[in-house]
Amino acid sequence: MNMEQPVSSTVYSTDKEHETKDMDIRSLSSSHPQTPNSPHTHKVGIPPKQNLLKEIKATVKETFFADDPLRPFKDQPRSKKFILGIQTIFPILEWGRSYNFTKFQGDIIAGLTIASLCIPQDIGYAKLANLDPQYGLYTSFVPPLIYAFMGSSRDIAIGPVAVVSLLMGTLLENEVDSKKDAETYRRLAFTATFFAGITQATLGFFRLGFLIDFLSHAAVVGFMGGAAITIALQQLKGLLGIKDFTKKTDIVSVLHSVFVSAHHGWNWQTIVIGVSFLAFLLFAKYIGKKNKKLFWVPAIAPLISVIMSTFFVFITRADKQGVQIVKHIEKGINPSSVKEIYFSGHYLPKGFKIGVVAGMIALTEAIAIGRTFAAMKDYQLDGNKEMVALGTMNIVGSMTSCYAATGSFSRSAVNYMAGCQTAFSNIVMSCVVFLTLQFITPLFKYTPNAILAAIIISAVVGLIDFEAAILIWKIDKFDFIACMGAFFGVVFSTVEKGLLIAVSISFAKILLQVTRPRTAILGKLPGTTVYRNIQQYPGATMVQGVLIVRVDSAIYFSNSNYVRERILRWLTDEEEKLKASYQPKIQFLIVEMSPVTDIDTSGIHALEELYKSLQKKDVQLILANPGPVVIDKLYASNFANTIGEDKIFLTVADAVASCSPKLATEV
């Protein structure tokens, strides 16, 4: 391992004769310390020049078809392709063929369990969206059926959910007053649902599903938590029996509204019913959490509460004491609402806007649920195909008097724990809802609103994910800011503001990442030829006269100036330190380019300017291990020739080896 063997006779001189320095280094690069047996072999590989069309094709494939959805179609006869195509659109045709009695058992039990949970929730969620209770039930009838045929998640439970209901309620109420003009409001809700479906299906069809990834996990945790608090606060109206309640959703207005009405607006009978059943529901939840086998306790508790409280109000006629009741739920299944959708006029753009926002949020929730359970049971889920399924289900829903449906966190978890096997459990649930709509709705007449409020509160409590927030705090402080931003935005302002904050912070993080990439000084780990960040490995030693800088990102227009300035600053800092300790000055600057996956024209400019600046300082620029794309562009731009091809090495160790003979002559 004779690293300092003087192969070349070139003597390093401190004057400006750069040209003489460039000689005879290529031969050095092969006096490779680790590879004594294979000299002259490994240069930096230059990949074969690619066809432009091929390159574009590869990029498009990686961007839009990263999951290779057409793989099963490859090398199949046409008739088989057709069948596969149909199966792709309707996965039920695929899994249905291997359906058996064991699976059926699981699905029946799971379906009945989620049905018992969804019926009271649906009635409450419809209220959050400022719609009559039957619309919640409608939304649990048609969309799950459609999804069962087209969706590929086996565990998701479809129907109205709290956050989307609140979001739609808030956004719709901004446009139309639901009290004064209930019909227009309802029509706008269907319009928004229609466009939510269109948005979802379009994103899926054009394989733009990755767009929802731009809402970061942290932002979603914060947003969900904030929405849960907001929803719970809204329920104080029902729980305390307050009649005059603010329309705003921020915590300040709501609490003000609650305390102002404390003296005359609260109804003690309502409070007794509401609080006692809330305690019962939370206790059931606690039991379910303690013992996973008792998951069915919190799942059926809401239905039991509804039955008991309805019966109680019916015999005591507490509604005459001011306890507000549901009063009336329309009997019968979904009427058509095709003609109610605004396909033109003033409300079209408004419905479109609300639909896009609600559709995206609904997607985020459904895809997150789908992915979670797919990972737990280890099956593949095509996000884009899911979006098409969810979109279609909402489009059909909007025409059958449903508002925006999506996957529910709480019901999906119950579905999973109850042992669902396929999407058939959604069909079971849908059938139960159908029976409810046909025969049982009149029985809900005396159900107190306070119970619905208690059910909603106990449902949304689960959306506040303290553990996730703590983990986010531990892992990434910036993520935590995004999380808290979204949370406080929703709680103290409005749902939209919170969402906007979440998206903005997520984007700011991406931009910050690409604007200010990390750089590191590398040192040699003693006894190896491995060079690593000296901050991470304090044992690593720097090579005298050589500064090794690693750039940890692609060099693009957004960071090229920063990277250049930062490298020069490392050099200045180091030179000052060396000067102070009377050590020899730096003669070689090695830029380790392994993490530089790409470079654009601005990046090449930055390297050129760096090279010029270094020439003036009499420091030689050397590049180590540029990747295929980078080396290609270094040659295309002629920069490889400018600095000399013999200044580009396969590894940092090779690059250092090339410097050492020259240093040896001087030190």
Residue 525 beta carbon to a second copy: minimum distance, rounded to whole angstroms: 5
Residue 43 beta carbon to a second copy: minimum distance, rounded to whole angstroms: 10
Residue 580 beta carbon to a second copy: minimum distance, rounded to whole angstroms: 13
Residue 385 beta carbon to a second copy: minimum distance, rounded to whole angstroms: 14
Torsion, CA 428, CA 434, CA 439, CA 444, rounded to 10? 90
Residue 127 beta carbon to a second copy: minimum distance, rounded to whole angstroms: 33
Nearer to a second copy, 107 or 632 (CB): 632
Nearer to a second copy, 192 or 212 (CB): 212
Nearer to a second copy, 35 or 276 (CB): 35
- The residue among 459, 457, 447 whose CA lies nearest residue 273 is 447
Nearer to a second copy, 59 or 291 (CB): 59
Strand, helix or coil for residue 29: helix
Q: What are phi and psi of 345, to 5 degrees?
A: 90, -170
Q: How far apart are CA 100 and CA 98, in angstroms?
A: 6
618: left (phi over 0), alpha (psi -120 to 50) or beta: left
Residue 162 beta carbon to a second copy: minimum distance, rounded to whole angstroms: 23
Q: Say if residues 26 and 8 touch (Cβ distance below 8 Å).
A: no
DSSP E strands, 371-436: 406-407
Nearer to a second copy, 334 or 558 (CB): 558
Q: How far apart are CA 444 and CA 459, in angstroms?
A: 20
Nearer to a second copy, 544 or 602 (CB): 602
Do the strands 546-551 and 519-524 form a parallel or antiparallel pair, or are they unpaired?
antiparallel
Which helix (DSSP H) or strand (DSSP E) does residue 63 occupy?
Answer: helix 52-64
**The residue to which tokens 């039957």 are assigned:** 134
The number of angstroms, rounded, from the C-alpha of 57 to the middle of its chain's C-alpha atoms is: 27
Q: How far apart are CA 444 and CA 620, in angstroms?
A: 83
Residue 360 beta carbon to a second copy: minimum distance, rounded to whole angstroms: 15
Q: What are phi and psi of 266, to 5 degrees?
A: -85, 150
Look at the alpha carbons of 352, 354, 360, 363 in this order and tell me if their dihedral is positive or negative: negative
Tokens coding 398: 């909007």
Q: How far apart are CA 667 and CA 273, in angstroms?
A: 89
Tokens coding 500: 């906007």
Residue 383 beta carbon to a second copy: minimum distance, rounded to whole angstroms: 8
Helix spans in 581-636 (H): 601-617, 628-636
Residues 6+ apart with CB under 8 A from 353: none
Nearer to a second copy, 132 or 592 (CB): 592
Nearer to a second copy, 172 or 549 (CB): 549
Nearer to a second copy, 183 or 378 (CB): 378
Residue 270 beta carbon to a second copy: minimum distance, rounded to whole angstroms: 41
Residue 464 beta carbon to a second copy: minimum distance, rounded to whole angstroms: 17
Do the strands 158-159 and 519-524 form a parallel or antiparallel pair, or are they unpaired?
unpaired
Residue 566 beta carbon to a second copy: minimum distance, rounded to whole angstroms: 6
Residue 409 beta carbon to a second copy: minimum distance, rounded to whole angstroms: 16
Nearer to a second copy, 278 or 599 (CB): 599
Q: Say if residues 611 and 623 touch (Cβ distance below 8 Å).
A: no
Nearer to a second copy, 355 or 627 (CB): 627
Residues 6+ apart with CB under 8 A from 134: 126, 329, 330, 437, 441
Helix spans in 441-559 (H): 449-460, 466-475, 477-492, 495-515
Residue 215 beta carbon to a second copy: minimum distance, rounded to whole angstroms: 8
Q: Say if residues 456 and 133 touch (Cβ distance below 8 Å).
A: no
SS (HEC) of 384-421: HHHHHHHHHHHHHHHHCCCCCCEECHHHHHHHHHCCCC
Q: What are phi and psi of 321, to 5 degrees?
A: -90, 10
Nearer to a second copy, 221 or 460 (CB): 221
Q: Say if residues 69 and 384 touch (Cβ distance below 8 Å).
A: yes
Nearer to a second copy, 140 or 519 (CB): 519
CB atoms near residue 63 (< 10 Å): 11
